[in-house]
Amino acid sequence: MLRRGALPPPLLRSPMALPPARPPRPERRFVAELPGCELVDFACRRGGSAGGGGARPRGFPPGPGRCYSFCVPGEPVRAARLHERLRRELSQAAFAALPLLSYRPGAAAAARERGFLVRAAPEGERALEELLRRCLPAPAHLAVYQEGEDGQLWRGLWRLAEAGGKELLSRARVVGAPPPASHPAAAHLRDAAGFGSRPAARRVLQECTTLIPEAKAVLDLVDKCPKLPKRGSFPVIVIEGLDATGKTTITRSLKDLLNAILLRSPPSCVSQWRKRFDDEPTLIRKAFYALTNYIVASEIAEASTKSPVIIDRYWHSTAAYAIATEISGKVSDLPPVHHPVYCWPEDLLKPDLVILLTVSPEERIQRLQGRGIEKTREEEELEANRFFRQKVEESYRRMENPACQLVDASLSREEVLKDVLHQIKKHFPSL
Neighbour tally for 68: CB within 10 Å: 24
User: Do residues 143 and 219 share a domain?
Assistant: no
User: Do residues 168 and 228 share a domain?
Assistant: no
User: Do residues 269 and 409 share a domain?
Assistant: yes
Least confident of 108-112, 238-242, 290-294: 108-112
pLDDT above 70 for 19: no
Q: Is residue 22 in a domain?
A: no
User: Do residues 206 and 246 share a domain?
Assistant: yes
User: Do residues 110 and 223 share a domain?
Assistant: no
pTM here is 0.87
Full DSSP string of 22-52: PPPPPPPEEEEEETTTEEEEEEEEES-TTSS
User: Do residues 155 and 212 share a domain?
Assistant: no
Q: Is residue 10 in a domain?
A: no
The tens digit of pLDDT for each residue in 370-426 reads 665 555 666 666 766 889 999 999 999 999 999 999 999 999 999 999 999 999 999
User: Do residues 214 and 163 share a domain?
Assistant: no
Per-residue pLDDT at 4: 44
pLDDT band, very low/low/confident/very high, at 50 (cuts 50, 70, 90)? very low
Q: How many domains does the chain have?
A: 2
User: Do residues 40 and 72 share a domain?
Assistant: yes
The tens digit of pLDDT for each residue in 152-190 reads 899 999 999 988 899 999 999 999 999 998 899 998 888
User: Do residues 208 and 321 share a domain?
Assistant: yes
Domain that holds residue 44: 29-176
Residue after which a domain boundary falls, among 110, 142, 176 = 176
Q: Is 319 exposed, middle or buried (0-12, 13-18, 19+ CB in 10 A)?
A: buried
Least confident of 9-18, 274-283, 340-349, 417-426: 9-18
Per-residue pLDDT at 3: 45
The tens digit of pLDDT for each residue in 231-257 reads 999 999 999 998 889 999 999 999 999
- State the CATH number of the domain containing residue 334: 3.40.50.300
Least confident of 105-109, 226-230, 367-371: 367-371
Residue after which a domain boundary falls, among 176, 200, 217 = 176
Dihedral of alpha carbons 249, 250, 251, 257, sign: positive
